[in-house]
Structure 1
Amino acid sequence: MNKINELSYNIKIRNTLYFEAAIGLSGNSFLLLFQVFKFIRGQRPRLTDPPIILLALIHLLMLLVMSLVASDIFMPGKRWSDSTCKFVMFLYRFFRSLSLCATSLLSILQAITLSPRNSCLAKFKHKSPYHMLGCLLFLSIFYSSISSPLIKYIAAIPNLTSPGFIYITQSCCLVPISYSVWNTFYTLFTLRDVIFVGLMAISSAYMVTFLYRHKKQSQFLHSTNRSLKSSPEHRATQSILCLMSFFVVMYTLDSVISYLRNPSNDPIFYFIVILVGHSYASVSPFLVLSTEKHVIHILKCYGRTVDI
């Protein structure tokens, strides 16, 4: 009876994670289609459009891998092999690193877009948006190269488990790591994340300062805030600032939960880890779309049709 209750409990947890993944997959797919539609219409791409497209694609793949990991945690079937564990966990970590790199780059590019003509950042405005993808690739390789050596410590769970093994999923575990090696990894991970989050914080602070000064100038000239609200650059900036704020909150929660990692196989702990760790991927497309003028217009027209 206990096994039946545990199975039913795990199914509910798994379905909750699948529901989060379904929302995220739908939102990111719609964001990708919206960007493709803009391209088909011949609209000139903004500097931040390629990172937004890539971020949506990264989150699509990340949520698919998350669903695969969740299925092995809460509804185990056939056990994965050692190579499958390494490959799936590599993808799991790789897409998370791409998400952080793309988000940091998006914040930096929006700050460049807002920079005045006499600024040292102005020269980057004339670069093609697609040239920035090379920068993203470099950042992603740098980010992933630090965590890649950890993959060799991931293995399929042996038949005779040892107390030194750390449970990841029903099929995969982390083999025992010496204290010095683990501290080295932890220090490198912390420094790496501080660099990227720090760049994000600096660019976000720059954007907030710019918006504040612009608002003060508008009030000083006795003008309305209509130009501030109608400007595509300012709408995009507000959207990206909301994105950055949400990312920092979720990233902080994820870091705290990971630091307080429970070595037991409690499904609630893993449920919270996965739910919090992928909230940004699920919510971010809706934050981006919420300030797109064409999307808002379509929703208003749809609302009027429903009322009629």
Structure 2
Amino acid sequence: MISLDKLLSIAFFSQTVIGVQGNFFLIYLFTFMSFTGQRLRPIDLILTQLALANSLVLLSKGFPQGMAVWGLKNFLDGIGCKIVFYLHRVARGLSLSMTCLLSGLQAIIISPNNTTWITLKVRIPKYIIPSSIFCWIFYMLQNIIILEKLQGPKGTRNISEIKKYGYCSVNATNIISISSYVVVFFLPDAVLMTFISFTSGYKVYLLHKHHKRVQQMHTAHFSTRAFPEIRATKMILVLVSTFVTFYLINAILTVYMHSMTPRPWLQHSSAFMSSLFPMVSPFVLISSDSQILRYYSAVHSRRNPHTGNDSTI
């Protein structure tokens, strides 16, 4: 009979492999289309970075956590532990910020075509790259403190001063103060989550208005399926609601875990929940965004130029 630890490690490894494959598929698809001279949507740059951030979250959390559950808790030294944990924190922040940019951009795209919104729609593509660079720099600087506070399990000497988190440890006598934690880590996340919630509510409002307008017209020609922006918006709403749900559950578990001596079930639950969105998001995008399927068809036709001639034999 398979032990619980082995089942947990299999779950972490499976989550990592499945999620990384889905995210790498999106990265490959957008990169291939870009290098072949195809014109991508402004939103595709954000989706590429979101897929990259999700891949880093999975690789820096799921794989080490699976190794730790398997019993190999000392496979990382102090430097390796700091690098892996730092990458996870940066990638987690980028996943949040890219989801925020994605939600905001989609809200602007489907907004009414009045003078103010049209001007913003024209200008917004120019701000995507600077905004993305700012997010990368911000989270890389924000999490530098991780390099000082963490240490590998091998470096643990005074057990009373150490909180263990699977494959890494934190010196309990040198933890950042509560007020500093709120300002440096909690406040930026809270602002982004508030913005995501606001833009999501705004998009629901616009979709509701559109639905009422369609009902008044009483014609199939104006069905919501005729508007790609509406389909894309529904896709983003599914993606954002999935992110918010998993993020809040993981945040509650993390706060509870930091308020006490970490227990194995808390560590495993928090780690698994933190990687659920990175695993699920690429498949939500692939199944919901018709443009991604068209990109794939274009890639497939380029790599197999003679496929369409088989029917003439």
**TM-score, normalising length from structure 1?**
0.84
Residue aligning to 1:66? 61
Offset at residue 251 of structure 1 (A): 0.7
The alignment status of 1:163 with 2:160, answered yes or no, reads yes
Corresponding residue of 1:148: 144
Shift of 1:220: 1.6
Matched, 1:259 2:255: yes
Gap change, CA 1:296 and 1:33, over 3 Å in 2: same
Which shifted more, 115-124 or 48-57? 115-124
Judge which range, 16-25 or 220-229, deviates more.
220-229
In the TM superposition, 1:221-300 aligns within 5 A as: 221-224=217-220, 226-261=222-257, 263-264=260-261, 266-293=263-290
Q: Which residue of 1 aligns with 2:19?
A: 24
Offset from partner CA, 1:161-197 (integer Å, 9 cap, x none)? 3212110234x21012468723421454221111001
Displacement of 1:217: 1.2
Note if 1:46 corresponds to 2:49: no
Q: Could you tell me which amino acid in structure 2 is paired with residue 242 of structure 1?
A: V
Displacement of 1:110: 0.6
Deviates most, 279-288 or 118-127: 118-127
- Pair 1:102 & 2:98 matched: yes
Q: How many residues align?
A: 293
Trace 1:86-235 onto structure 2 (pairs within 5 A).
86-118=82-114, 120-127=116-123, 129=125, 131-157=127-153, 158-170=155-167, 172-177=168-173, 181-224=177-220, 226-235=222-231
Q: 1:15 is matched with which residue?
A: 10
Letter in 1 for 2:88: Y
Which sections of structure 2, spanning at least 5 residues, go unmatched? 298-313
Task: Select between 58-67 and 7-16 the one with higher mean Cα deviation.
Answer: 7-16
Who is 2:300 aligned against? none
Secondary structure in 1 matching 2:166 = coil
- Asked if 1 retains the 8 angstrom alpha-carbon contact of 2:149 and 2:174, the reply is no
Distance 1:109 1:63 in 2: 25
Q: CA RMSD in A?
A: 2.8
The 8 Å contact of residues 49 and 129 in structure 1, kept in 2 or not, is answered as no
- Report deviation, 1:24: 0.7
Change (3 A) 1:153 1:116: same
- Displacement of 1:8 in angstroms is 4.2
Q: In the alignment, residue 215 of structure 1 is paired with which amino acid?
A: H
Q: Which residue of 2 aligns with 1:81?
A: 77
Structure 2 Cα separation of the partners of residues 40 and 199 of structure 1? 33
Tell me by how many angstroms 1:224 deviates. 2.8
CA 1:175–1:55 in 2, change beyond 3 Å: closer, same or farther? same
User: One-letter code of the match for 1:169?
Assistant: G
Of the structure 1 ranges 270-279 and 150-159, higher mean CA displacement relative to structure 2 is found in 150-159
User: Tell me, what secondary structure is at the counterpart of 2:169?
Assistant: strand
Q: Which moved more, 1:35-44 or 1:116-125?
A: 35-44
Letter aligned with residue 61 of structure 1: L
